[in-house]
Amino acid sequence: MDQLPNMRLTTQRQIILEELGKVTSHPTANEVYDMVRKRLPRIGLGTIYRNLELMAESGIILKLEVGGTQKRFDATVENHYHIRCTDCGRVDDIDIEVQEEINEIATKSSDYKILGHHIEFSGICENCSRKKKVVH
């Protein structure tokens, strides 16, 4: 909701944000850890989790609660949808337009106070379909 409350600008935070901004993939906390560790070898995994969580709450990054066992993070906060490969777990952005009124439609069909929605497509990514053809 509010932007960076009393959040100190530490080296760790700068680098986490920089590294996340460099990639178009949607890394897990552990992948961010590996990326950041190349520049800050002594950083702890707890720091990664704490800061990704904080940044997601402040709205400067996006926390993706997609299928699979791990949460993923995205430096792009503009509203967009995702597609996940059911074979390898990879997640990509997908750029499509959906009827704008979808939240209003949902409001009429539910007792909930609707805040938003997310669409997750599932499929097989190019890499994995290629592999499958070779094997079979």
User: DSSP label at 100?
Assistant: T
Task: Determine, following the binding rule CB under 7 A, whether residue 11 of this chain makes contact with DNA.
Answer: yes
Distance in angstroms (rounded) separating the CA atoms of residues 90 and 69: 12
Binding string, 14-33, against DNA, x = CB under 7 A?
--------------xxx---
76 binds, among a copy of itself, DNA, none (CB under 5 to 8 A by kind): none
Tokens 């850890």: give the residue: 33
Dihedral angle at the C-alpha atoms of 115, 23, 93, 131, nearest 10 degrees? Answer: -140
Distance in angstroms (rounded) separating the CA atoms of residues 50 and 134: 42
91-94/62-64 β-pairing: unpaired
Q: How far is the CB of 126 from a copy of itself (least distance, A)?
A: 5
State which residue, 45 or 106, has the beta carbon closest to DNA. 45
Binding-site member from 18, 21, 39, 44 for DNA (CB under 7 A):
44
State which residue, 9 or 98, has the beta carbon closest to DNA. 9
| Structure-token pair, residue 1 | 């909701």
Distance in angstroms (rounded) separating the CA atoms of residues 30 and 12: 15
Q: Which residues bind a copy of itself (CB under 8 A)?
A: 65-68, 83, 85-86, 92, 94-99, 102-103, 105-106, 109-126, 129
Residues lying near DNA in the complex (CB under 7 A) are found at 6-13, 28-30, 40, 42-47, 49-51, 53, 69-71
